[in-house]
């Protein structure tokens, strides 16, 4: 838990893409460990392994993207990146996996539904919020975020309404909340970007309290 929290804080303060990716991967590894030590025996282990696979895929994409950004600009400073470039596209795809975009949302659902109450609270608070932070810093105004965020915000609600397990419903709700932040980042007005950051922070607290309850 402390490794996850510390890695997430490090990712925010490092100030460059390379350090951010390293901290994010450490946070993902710690998060997978929290999911593996979960209730439900083999179910928790499976959820942790699936999370580890998704985090590894995100890490490979982001690492390759940062390498291409360095090769093109000779800089890894945390700055606005064009998602239409090869490096930007790979970094963008890795961050979407971290945020729980459609398709990759399964790691969010499994990990949050299987982890212990405190573990689920930490997983709800840190990894996705860290990805949203990076999207605010690197891809504000990216048009693709609006439709992706809209899908994330709307379709999980049907699954949440039909879920028999409250923890599964809350996990789908967390994906929906992240989608709303992505829409605001895509809009990129000062009010929208500030709202995305504030909403992500509020949702992290809300989800953490909900899972502990």
Pick the range with the lowest mean pLDDT from 14-18, 66-70, 112-116: 112-116
- Residue 120: predicted pLDDT: 87
- Residue 163: predicted pLDDT: 87
DSSP output for 15-32: -BHHHHHHHHHHHHHHHH
DSSP output for 97-118: HHHT-TTTHHHHHHHHHHS-HH
Bridge-partner residues for 16, per DSSP? Answer: 77
- Residue 143: predicted pLDDT: 95
- Residue 113: predicted pLDDT: 86
On the CB side of 170, how many CA atoms lie within 13 Å of its CA?
24
The per-residue pLDDT for range 115-167, each reduced to its tens digit, is 888 888 899 889 889 999 999 999 999 999 999 999 999 999 998 998 888 88
- Residue 38: predicted pLDDT: 61
* Tokens describing residue 138: 């690197």
| Residue 183: CB atoms within 10 Å | 20
The per-residue pLDDT for range 171-194, each reduced to its tens digit, is 999 999 999 999 999 999 999 999
Whole-angstrom distance, CA of residue 59 vs CA of residue 119: 22
- How far, rounded to the nearest angstrom, does the alpha carbon of residue 46 sit from its chain's CA centroid? 20
The per-residue pLDDT for range 32-90, each reduced to its tens digit, is 888 887 654 556 788 888 899 999 999 999 999 999 999 999 889 998 999 999 999 99
């Amino acid at each position: 838990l402390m490794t996850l929290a510390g890695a997430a804080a490090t990712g925010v303060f490092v100030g460059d893409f390379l350090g951010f990716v390293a901290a994010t991967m450490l946070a993902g590894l710690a998060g997978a460990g929290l999911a593996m030590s979960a209730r439900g025996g083999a179910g928790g282990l499976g959820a942790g392994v699936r999370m580890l696979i998704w985090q590894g895929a995100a890490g490979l994409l982001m690492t390759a993207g940062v390498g291409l950004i360095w090769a093109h600009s000779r800089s890894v400073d945390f700055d606005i990146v064009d998602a239409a470039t090869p490096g930007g596209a790979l970094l963008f795809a890795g961050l979407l996996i971290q945020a729980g975009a459609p398709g990759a949302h399964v790691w969010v659902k499994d990990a949050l539904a299987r982890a212990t109450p405190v573990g689920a609270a930490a997983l709800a608070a840190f990894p996705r919020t860290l990805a949203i932070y990076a999207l605010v810093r690197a891809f504000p105004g990216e048009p693709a975020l609006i439709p992706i965020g809209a899908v994330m915000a709307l379709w999980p609600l049907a699954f949440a309404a039909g879920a028999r397990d409250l923890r599964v419903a809350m996990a789908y709700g967390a994906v929906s909340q992240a989608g709303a932040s992505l829409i605001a980042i895509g809009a990129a007005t000062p009010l929208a970007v500030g709202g995305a950051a504030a909403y992500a922070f509020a949702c992290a607290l809300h989800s953490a309290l909900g899972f502990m309850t």
